[in-house]
């Protein structure tokens, strides 16, 4: 009797171990915050020895550097990563299509689409197409990702070269994705038993009875993600330039200069001209400088306020 109970406990323990699926969301523009967030989700899943990570994707695209950072993280993951375009009406456009195809299992919900991945550059006058060598580089990157996961290479390449976009039914039929599922529960049932190839070797997914662990963005990540929107970033950049110009033309105004520097640093970080580590370090040093300056200059507290905001 005791032996039977012990065996049952061991079986129960084996079934429960590694039975968690971590779920993260890639919503809105692909930016440094999203890249850092995805890395955090995958890292948590690896530390918990999770069965898989599901990245729920709904994005119009974003920055190339952030996209490539996410893809490197996905490809190096010790846990299988499932890309899932969801809910109905969602899309994995531009950078989102690269990320979806880089995941070991690519899935879409009914009523979704992917593609339209021709590179563009942002300017003050809007988006413009880029020169041929950048397009060819992006096309080669897409081919490499598609080949790595055994997907339709020529169709994937057309997302870049021809800005082609397709529905979930077309993607499944033409071998671009693996699964069409209406929700995460259905997705986990459909991918159960599939074998995926990781850098460390082949892994068979056991997801049908897995517990779902959702990992949302933190409050600070949500805030930084919001201000990383290109439209807001350009407004911050312009505000920063004008603030500094006003300070130089009217020395002693203080407030425009302080606000200008802060806005400019945030904008440069949003454009990925400087990393978040450097931006944070500069803001901290700038805040300390303002506090020290407050001792020498009577600014009626404006410098101290600027220092607090910087820190």
Strand partners, 221: none
DSSP 199: T
Q: Is 65 known to be catalytic?
A: no
- Count CB neighbours of 84 within 10 A: 30
The Cα–Cα gap between 166 and 170 comes to: 6
Residues 55/83, Cβ–Cβ less than 8 Å: yes
* Phi, psi (degrees; rounded to nearest 5) at 112: -120, 170
The pLDDT of residue 16 is 47
Mean pLDDT by 10 residues, the chain (311 residues): 45 56 96 94 97 98 94 98 98 98 98 94 53 90 96 97 97 98 97 94 94 96 86 88 85 76 84 68 67 62 59 56
Residue range 19-219 forms a domain whose CATH class is alpha beta
Question: Under a CB-based contact definition with an 8 Å cutoff, are residues 97 and 160 in contact?
Answer: no
Read off the pTM.
0.81
pLDDT, residue 191, reads 98
User: One of 35, 94, 228, 270 is an active-site residue; which one?
Assistant: 94
- What single string gives the DSSP state of each residue in 12-68? HHHHHTT-EEEEEEEESSB-HHHHHHHHHHHHHHHHTT-SEEEEEEEB--B-HHHHH
What pLDDT sits at residue 5?
A: 45
Domain ranges of the chain: 19-219, 229-310
Distance, in Å, from the CA atom of 113 to the CA atom of 167, rounded to the nearest integer, reads 4
94 is a catalytic site residue: yes
Task: Identify the active-site residue in 13, 123, 133, 220.
Answer: 133
């Amino acid at each position: 009797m005791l032996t039977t109970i012990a065996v049952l406990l061991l079986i129960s323990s084996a079934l429960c171990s590694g039975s968690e699926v971590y779920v993260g969301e890639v919503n809105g523009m692909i930016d440094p915050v999203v890249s850092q967030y995805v890395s955090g989700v995958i890292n948590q899943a690896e530390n918990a020895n999770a069965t898989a990570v599901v990245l729920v994707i709904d994005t119009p695209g974003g920055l190339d550097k952030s996209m490539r950072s996410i893809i490197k993280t996905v490809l190096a993951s010790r846990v299988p990563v499932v890309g899932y375009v969801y809910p109905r009406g969602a899309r994995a456009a531009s950078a989102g299509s690269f990320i979806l195809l880089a995941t070991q299992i690519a899935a879409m919900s009914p009523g979704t689409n992917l593609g339209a991945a021709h590179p563009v550059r942002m300017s003050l006058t809007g988006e413009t197409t880029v020169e041929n060598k950048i397009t060819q580089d992006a096309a080669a990157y897409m081919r490499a990702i598609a080949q790595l996961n055994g997907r339709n290479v020529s169709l994937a390449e057309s997302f870049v070269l021809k800005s082609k976009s397709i529905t979930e039914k077309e993607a499944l039929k033409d071998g671009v994705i693996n699964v069409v599922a209406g929700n995460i529960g259905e997705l986990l049932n459909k991918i159960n038993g599939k074998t995926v190839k990781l850098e460390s070797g082949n892994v068979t997914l056991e997801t049908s009875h897995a517990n779902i662990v959702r990992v949302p963005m933190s409050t600070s990540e949500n805030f930084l993600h919001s201000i990383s929107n290109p439209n807001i970033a350009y407004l911050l950049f312009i505000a920063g330039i004008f603030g500094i110009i006003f300070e130089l033309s009217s020395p002693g105004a203080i407030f425009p200069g302080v606000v200008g520097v802060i806005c400019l640093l945030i904008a440069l970080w949003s454009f990925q001209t400087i990393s978040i580590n450097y931006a944070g370090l500069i803001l901290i040093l700038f805040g300390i400088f303002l506090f020290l300056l407050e001792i020498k200059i009577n600014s009626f507290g404006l410098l101290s306020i600027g220092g607090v905001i910087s820190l």
